Amino acid sequence: MSEPSTITKAVRNFTALFKADAFAGILLILVALVAMVVANSGVAPAYFELFNGYLWSKDTFYLNTIHLWVNDGLMVIFFFVVGLEVKREIIAGNLSDPKARNLPILAAIAGMAAPAAVYFWIAGSEPGLANGWAIPAATDIAFAMGVVGLLGTRVPSALRLFLLTVAIVDDIGAVTIIAIFYTANLKVMYLVASLVVLGFMYYLNRKGVSSKIPFIALTVLLWYLVLYSGVHATIAGVLAALMIPFKCKDGSTMLEDMEHSLVPWNAYLVVPIFGFANAGVNISGLGMDALLDPLPLAIAAGLVIGKQVGIFSTVWAAVKVGLVEKPAGCTWVEVWGVSILCGIGFTMSLFIGELAFPGSGEAARMLRDEAKIGVLTGSLISAVLGYVILRMTTSHPEQKDDPASPVV
């Protein structure tokens, strides 16, 4: 047989990369870069008008800009997928095993608390900035796993699973933070109606209803009611996902079917659109030393320093005192490298940044822009630093290579 041509090899490599975890991370990086370029180019006015121009009055419908439709509407799909992943992990995944979940749960809690502490230390005393404490607390699953995907077998499988589980627990914490700390002006009637719909979904779950149609219809209704209840609308996505049956009476696996159907749309459409709509920031008005301002500095430091210190020190201490075992087949340097990758906040951090500094005034917009600078800088540093450290560690040839996980 003849050797495949260069073009054939290139096509195979691209196909493998597209199927790999790495592609979703690469796509996010490219989208963020494009958004930044567009926001600082001659078409910047059109970019900002596209997402922030009014479509109609809020009295007509609350979501009156494309930006609001993306953040409060489209992102419900993202949170719905998060909810499906969390439920699957709790029932049949890594979070179902107490021994396996103890270490990532401890690490995730420390990985949220330490960045918040770093943030407060730098910016907590600054007027109007305290509300941004949760921005550096979240880890972006797609981005972080994308970097790991680029490294292939250089990252042991046990450490990949550890990172994924930490990120999932992290998402649970972030959703809880949004529900508790970024909810205002509750409207009781809408909230009660939301609970009624949620209760009916639970009833259908317990009855083992196998049709997706009522669950989809009730999810849309739940989203509408939560949107007007004062609780952030995306919480509806998580709550609805938790009501989806893991297995129906007819033996079908509705939860896994929905998850498998939505994951590609979520990774390659929903999150990139969100990234493009939210990562664009015009840095010309912020000044060259904008990163040294308290808000972006606190966020970047929280992601780069807080995440790795919180997670690595907790893992090290828990292993040393015998509470848990170190992830199998990995070194402490590799644990450190993955701890740094947890400082990639991006999607959830940008999302919380929008909630932390609401308002249409110039001051609020400047705070959101500074928050974006901090998130993008901290995430980029964490991605590059974590990649370099893991790239320099010994590969693991004893693990079977995955052709969809290129090593670069």
Q: What is the pLDDT of residues 252-310, one digit of tens each?
A: 889 999 999 998 899 899 999 999 998 888 877 665 567 788 999 999 999 999 999 99
Q: What percent of the chain has pLDDT over 70?
A: 89
Predicted confidence at residue 233, as pLDDT, reads: 87
**Most confident option among 210-219, 316-325, 364-373:** 210-219
Burial of 157 (0-12, 13-18, 19+ CB in 10 A): middle
Predicted confidence at residue 401, as pLDDT, reads: 46
Predicted confidence at residue 223, as pLDDT, reads: 96
- Domain of 252 in residue numbering reads as 22-391
CATH value at residue 327: 1.20.1530.10
Secondary structure percentages of the chain, helix, strand, coil, to 5: 75, 0, 25
Is pLDDT of 210 > 80? yes
Look at the chain and count its residues: 408
CA of residue 378 relative to chain centroid, distance: 14
Predicted confidence at residue 17, as pLDDT, reads: 44
> What distance in Å separates the CA atoms of residue 311 and residue 317, rounded to the nearest whole number?
10
Is pLDDT of 2 > 70? no
**Those residues with Cβ within 8 angstroms of residue 341's Cβ, 6 or more apart along the chain or in another chain:** 144, 147, 148, 163, 382, 383, 386, 387, 390
In a domain, 352, yes or no: yes
What confidence tier does 12 reach under pLDDT thresholds 50, 70, 90?
low
The label of the residue with tokens 């209803």 reads: 209
Least confident of 160-169, 197-206, 342-351: 160-169
> What distance in Å separates the CA atoms of residue 87 and residue 312, rounded to the nearest whole number?
26
Q: What is the pLDDT of residues 375-385, one digit of tens each?
A: 999 999 999 99
Q: What is the pLDDT of residues 39-65, one digit of tens each?
A: 999 999 999 999 999 999 888 898 999
Which token pair is 38? 């567009």
In a domain, 16, yes or no: no
> What distance in Å separates the CA atoms of residue 165 and residue 312, rounded to the nearest whole number?
15
In a domain, 326, yes or no: yes
In a domain, 30, yes or no: yes
What confidence tier does 231 reach under pLDDT thresholds 50, 70, 90?
confident
- Buried (b) or exposed (e) across 326-341, using 16+ Cβ within 10 A? bbeebeeebbbbbbbb
Q: 3-class SS at 282?
A: coil
Q: In this predicted model, which residue has the larger pLDDT, 392 or 69?
A: 69
Is pLDDT of 142 > 80? no
What confidence tier does 398 reach under pLDDT thresholds 50, 70, 90?
low
Is pLDDT of 197 > 90? yes
Predicted confidence at residue 6, as pLDDT, reads: 58
Least confident of 121-125, 181-185, 256-260, 273-277: 181-185
Is pLDDT of 165 > 70? yes
In a domain, 130, yes or no: yes
Contacts 24+ apart (CB under 8 A), 187-192: 187/228, 187/229, 187/230, 190/225, 190/226, 190/228, 190/229, 190/230, 191/225, 191/229, 191/230, 191/231
> What distance in Å separates the CA atoms of residue 271 and residue 355, rounded to the nearest whole number?
17
What confidence tier does 121 reach under pLDDT thresholds 50, 70, 90?
very high
Predicted confidence at residue 281, as pLDDT, reads: 85
When the pLDDT of each residue in the chain is averaged and rounded to a whole number, the result is 85
Q: In this predicted model, which residue has the larger pLDDT, 270 or 408?
A: 270
What confidence tier does 397 reach under pLDDT thresholds 50, 70, 90?
low
What total number of domains does the chain contain?
1
Please choose, from the candidates 103, 178, 99, the residue with its C-alpha nearest in 3D space to the C-alpha of residue 134. 178
In a domain, 374, yes or no: yes
Which token pair is 57? 């009055």
DSSP secondary structure string for all residues of 227-265: HTTSS-TTHHHHHHHHTS-SS-TTS--HHHHHHHHHHHH
> What distance in Å separates the CA atoms of residue 303 and residue 283, rounded to the nearest whole number?
21
- Buried (b) or exposed (e) across 3-13, using 16+ Cβ within 10 A? eeeeeeeeeee
Q: In this predicted model, which residue has the larger pLDDT, 180 or 197?
A: 197
**Range 202-214 average pLDDT:** 92
**158 within 8 A of 327, measured Cβ to Cβ:** yes
In a domain, 11, yes or no: no
What confidence tier does 230 reach under pLDDT thresholds 50, 70, 90?
confident
> What distance in Å separates the CA atoms of residue 49 and residue 354, rounded to the nearest whole number?
17
What confidence tier does 129 reach under pLDDT thresholds 50, 70, 90?
very high
What confidence tier does 406 reach under pLDDT thresholds 50, 70, 90?
very low
Is pLDDT of 100 > 80? no
Is pLDDT of 21 > 80? no
- Buried (b) or exposed (e) across 228-259, using 16+ Cβ within 10 A? ebebbbbbbbbbbbbbbbeebeeeeebbeebb
Is pLDDT of 193 > 80? yes
In a domain, 400, yes or no: no
What confidence tier does 22 reach under pLDDT thresholds 50, 70, 90?
low
**Most confident option among 22-26, 246-250, 271-275:** 271-275
